[in-house]
Structure 1
Amino acid sequence: MSKNIQESLDSCLFFTVKKLDRALNKLADESFQKVGMTPTYAFILLILAEEDGKLQKDIAQILYIAPSTLTRLVEKLIYKGYVTTLAEGRTRQVYLTVKGRNLLPDIQEAWNDLHIRYKALLGDDYADNLASIINLNAEKLR
């Protein structure tokens, strides 16, 4: 017996991951709204808080995005005054500005809020296990 389209979609890993992605994006956008930026921009600033002057290509690898995508994101952060860059040959290092550093407590609060919200819906252990399973399988599919 063949499945109907809804059953086919719901049993497709690609479709179900995208469905989860959209649901998490909605929660993340709500949590990060008070910061005035999307989570991806905020994650760039958090990465720089840990290691200021990080190479742009390394930030792209950490975030699993294309270097050209990161370039556009960094350019917007420069425009808003949150980061500066220093080019040496073909490499670019990214640095937090004072304005960017001052935003870090609000970003951390938004990130904590996101964790609280999805763990309230999924449960702490389940959310942690799901993140581990997704990370493990993402590496297998790379």
Structure 2
Amino acid sequence: MYHRYKRDPEEEKAENPLLFEQFAAEIMASVRGGSTYVTKGSGDYGVDIEEETDEGLYLGQVKCYNDQNPVSFDPIAIIHSQMVKQGAIGGYVVTTGKFTSNAYNYASGLNIELIDGNQLVELWLQHLDSKRERISRFEEVVVPGT
């Protein structure tokens, strides 16, 4: 997944980071049942995704990093700060790679979920299963008996 969304300045066809943010937002909305909004590319104060659920507001940040560049505690601190400022009830940081042990320690007790690359793939598969189920139900209604 990292290679699909990474941004390499030397490649002409490098993906826009917003595409990965939109991908992550779609997955989170699907598996968590909320509605998501991807913030603008700059001036977002470290919040990439705003997710409204029945329980309240969640804030997210996404990082397209490889396993050799694990995510530190910095994005967790930023999300926590924004949770306090915006009155969010929780948050998450999503990466294609891994998190440092300091990141896990920092996030402990803050209601911030850390979603690494392996977990992201699992959520993506759940999202795809959910899409398949919706399509099957639609086909049963539109084309009965097939």
Select the structure with the greater relative contact order (CA < 8 A; seq sep ≥ 6): 1
* TM exceeding 0.5: no
Larger helix fraction of residues: 1
Asked which structure has the greater CA Rg, the reply is 1
Give the TM-score taking structure 1 as reference length.
0.29
